[in-house]
């Protein structure tokens, strides 16, 4: 039974490496020494219990650290966790090595399901102890990248701003403000282009080297394995990108034209598209307390499970939403397995993003809440593309409740939310196609990479013009996309999930009860199946099948037509 504690009552324990190593050695030895399936199953259960407790401690530390990055106690604890994590992954690797090759594997598969073993097989193909120094180097390079971006200090408007603060000016209602902010950004990028380009070059060679050490031709297949993609490959992804190019890019070009017509801009630049409406972007009708109240109303109306879920979040202090000094940036959803509790972190700042947290991160948290009783830890959360279906679909289930969140701006929000969701797809495939090319041509120079990026973006996002921003004009937009550096090939997942979420959006319009039931069932599956099986079991059309994108988009075109965007 999970203890019924509130977040502030959770014990704060800093793990000691010595204790952990001793305990893990013992538990792993018990697994490896087992002579039959029954003993092995008991030993695995003990290991699972302990690793759940460890993961809970690690999550608590991470959350506390992200809430108070200026608290020395938490910074020290987080440093400790960073040191210990590679040691822990080595234990999982030893277990995987043993149980995938053991004589009684079939009996274990019967108990735990074959998919767990497919995951282990994939993780073994993607990992070898001899790669550890390369992996440490990879982490180091990624942090160097994060530090350059996070440490950006740009003088603008009489202030010194970081990139996200400057980003706000690029959405300003005044075109001149947008333009000068974009020029300041471009200047900063120009000054750091060489340093960032060098980091990427090192990462590409490092990853290519790791792939070759494991016997792969290049990093592509290894990258897929690292993401746990057991049921689709690069060829299927390339064909899927072609669907987006054919069925979504022309629609986006039309939407962009309309947007510029409404704004009255004759020769738009890339930053002009950040402003959706002449009257400004939609803003929520209240702050945290108000929005939480509205969210509770929404989750209560959606269904009994979601009502119980949101009440649980409120009663157990599992929401920390408003921006404060000391908090890290961004937003995320995590969980504490020993308490069977999800947690949502964000930085409310009075923009429509605040509502997205309550719907998008809320969707992630709801899925965890519904699968928290799954016994096998590997089956609680699915792979990343599946995870985003839960969150992105919830954004659409939330549509009928937007009057509560936005008041008079509700219609504006819905229209811009739908446009954003559709318009994201061409950018998503740009980033993905670029990465495939990079790892298939690891010896290309920085200039060649930029030229390739420029060629791809001209095909998929031809509306973007960089007349006043010479660095971006060279094809360097990707330098600011952190996924390209830290999580190769991950980006396409958002687009795959979006195409699935569109299906929920469409079904919700036709028959809410049926669509909601289907969604709850999907969430309850947790991570029991790989992506394509999960879709099949839940009657969601497979994005890789030709025609799926077109079918998902067609009804949305009709929804778009119900809005008169010139009035906003």
Residues within the interface to Zn ion (CB under 5 A): 391
The DSSP string of 209-239 is HHHHHTT-SSHHHHHHHHTT--S--HHHHHH
Give the nearest residue (CB) to Zn ion: 391
Indicate the residue among 220 and 394 with the shorter CB distance to Zn ion. Answer: 394
Report in angstroms how near the CB of residue 156 gets to Zn ion at its nearest: 30
Do the beta carbons of residue 342 and residue 278 sit within 8 Å?
no
Nearer to Zn ion, 334 or 391 (CB): 391
Shortest CB 391 distance to Zn ion, Å: 4
**By the 8 A CB rule, do 363 and 386 touch?**
no
DSSP assignment of 452-497: HHHHHHHHH-TT---TT-HHHHTT-GGGG-HHHHHSTT-THHHHHH
CB of 497 to Zn ion, least distance (A): 8
Classify 343 in phi/psi space as left (phi over 0), alpha (psi -120 to 50) or beta.
beta
Whole-number minimum distance, CB 53 to Zn ion, in Å? 26
β-pairing verdict for 332-336 and 341-348: antiparallel
User: To 5 degrees, how large is the angle CA 228–CA 204–CA 234?
Assistant: 40
Residue with Cβ nearer Zn ion (386 or 430): 386
Angle, helix 446-460 to helix 410-440, in steps of 10 degrees: 140
Give the pair of three-digit tokens for residue 531.
């992506």
220 vs 384, which CB is nearer to Zn ion?
384
Pick the closer one to Zn ion by CB: 391 or 476.
391
The residue among 23 and 372 lying less far from Zn ion, judged by its C-beta, is 372
Alpha helices by DSSP H, listed for 68-174, are 72-101, 105-112, 114-126, 132-150, 163-169
Yes or no: say if 419 and 498 are a contact pair by the CB < 8 Å rule.
no
| Least Å from the CB of residue 203 to Zn ion | 24
Burial of 467 (0-12, 13-18, 19+ CB in 10 A): exposed
Other C-beta atoms within 10 Å of 373: how many? 11
The 3-class secondary structure across 160-186, one letter per residue, is EECHHHHHHHCCCCCHHHHHHHHHHHH
The tokens describing 354, both together, are 């605040």
Nearest approach, Cβ of 83 to Zn ion (angstroms)?
28
Minimum distance between the CB of residue 382 and Zn ion, rounded to whole angstroms? 12
Please, what is the minimum distance in Å from the beta carbon of residue 206 to Zn ion? 28
- The span from the CA of 370 to the CA of 374, in Å, is 9
Bridge partners of residue 160, in order along the sequence? 155
Which CB sits closer to Zn ion, 391 or 461? 391
Q: Which two tokens stand for residue 98?
A: 């043993």
β-partners of residue 154 are 161
Which of 397, 568 has the CB closer to Zn ion?
Answer: 397
Nearer to Zn ion, 371 or 391 (CB): 391
Q: Return the number of the residue (338 or 385) whose C-beta is nearest Zn ion.
A: 385
Question: Cβ closer to Zn ion: 34 or 393?
Answer: 393
CB of 182 to Zn ion, least distance (A): 27
Question: Please, what is the minimum distance in Å from the beta carbon of residue 356 to Zn ion?
Answer: 10
Min separation Cβ 330 and Zn ion, Å = 11
């Amino acid at each position: 039974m999970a203890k019924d504690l509130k977040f502030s009552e959770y014990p704060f324990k800093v793990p000691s490496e010595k204790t952990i190593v001793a305990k893990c050695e013992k538990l792993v030895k018990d697994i490896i020494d087992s002579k039959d399936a029954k003993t092995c199953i008991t030993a695995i259960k003990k290991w699972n219990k302990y690793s759940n407790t460890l993961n809970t401690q690690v999550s608590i530390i991470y959350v506390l650290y992200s809430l108070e990055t200026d608290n020395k106690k938490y910074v020290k604890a987080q440093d400790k966790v960073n040191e210990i994590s590679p040691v822990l992954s080595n234990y999982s690797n030893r277990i995987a090595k043993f149980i995938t090759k053991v004589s009684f594997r079939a009996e274990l598969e019967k108990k735990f399901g074959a998919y767990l073993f497919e995951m282990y097989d994939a993780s073994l193909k993607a990992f070898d102890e001899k790669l550890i120094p390369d992996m440490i180097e990879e982490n180091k390079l990624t942090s160097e990248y994060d530090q350059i971006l996070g440490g950006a200090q740009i003088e603008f408007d009489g202030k010194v701003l970081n990139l996200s603060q400057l980003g706000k000016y690029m959405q300003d209602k005044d075109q001149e403000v947008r333009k000068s902010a974009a020029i300041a950004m471009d200047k900063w990028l120009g000054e750091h282009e060489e340093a960032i380009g060098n980091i990427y070059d090192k990462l590409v060679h490092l990853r290519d080297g790791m792939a070759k050490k494991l016997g792969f031709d290049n990093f592509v297949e290894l990258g897929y394995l690292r993401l746990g993609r057991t049921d689709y490959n690069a060829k299927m992804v390339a064909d899927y990108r072609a669907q987006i190019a054919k069925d979504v890019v022309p629609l986006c070009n039309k939407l962009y034209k309309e947007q510029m017509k409404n704004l009255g801009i004759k020769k738009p630049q890339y930053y002009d598209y950040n402003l959706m409406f002449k009257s400004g972007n939609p803003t929520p009708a209240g702050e945290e307390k108000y929005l939480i109240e509205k969210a509770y109303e929404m989750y209560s109306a959606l269904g009994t499970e979601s009502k119980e879920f949101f009440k649980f979040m409120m009663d157990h202090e599992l929401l920390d939403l408003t921006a404060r000094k000391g908090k890290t940036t961004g937003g995320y959803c995590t969980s504490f397995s020993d308490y069977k509790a999800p947690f949502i972190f964000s930085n409310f700042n009075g923009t429509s993003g605040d509502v997205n947290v309550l719907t998008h991160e809320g969707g992630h948290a709801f899925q965890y809440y519904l699968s928290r009783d799954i016994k096998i830890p590997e089956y609680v959360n699915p792979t990343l593309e599946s995870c985003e279906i839960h969150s992105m679909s919830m954004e659409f289930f939330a549509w009928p409740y937007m009057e509560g969140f936005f008041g008079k701006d509700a219609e504006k929000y819905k229209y811009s939310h739908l446009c954003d969701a559709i318009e994201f797809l061409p950018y998503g495939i740009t980033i993905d196609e670029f990465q495939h090319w990079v790892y298939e041509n690891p010896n290309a120079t920085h200039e060649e990479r930029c030229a390739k990026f420029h060629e791809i973006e001209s095909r998929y996002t031809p509306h973007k013009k960089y007349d006043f921003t010479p660095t971006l004009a060279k094809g360097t937009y990707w330098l600011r996309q952190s996924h390209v550096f830290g999580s190769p090939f991950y980006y396409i997942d958002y687009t795959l999930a979006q195409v699935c979420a569109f299906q929920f959006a469409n079904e919700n319009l036709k028959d809410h009860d049926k669509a909601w039931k289907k969604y709850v069932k999907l969430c309850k599956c947790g991570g029991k199946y790989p992506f394509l099986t999960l879709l099949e079991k839940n009657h969601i059309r497979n994005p890789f099948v030709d025609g799926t994108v077109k079918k998902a988009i067609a009804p949305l075109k009709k929804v778009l037509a119900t809005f008169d965007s010139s009035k906003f």
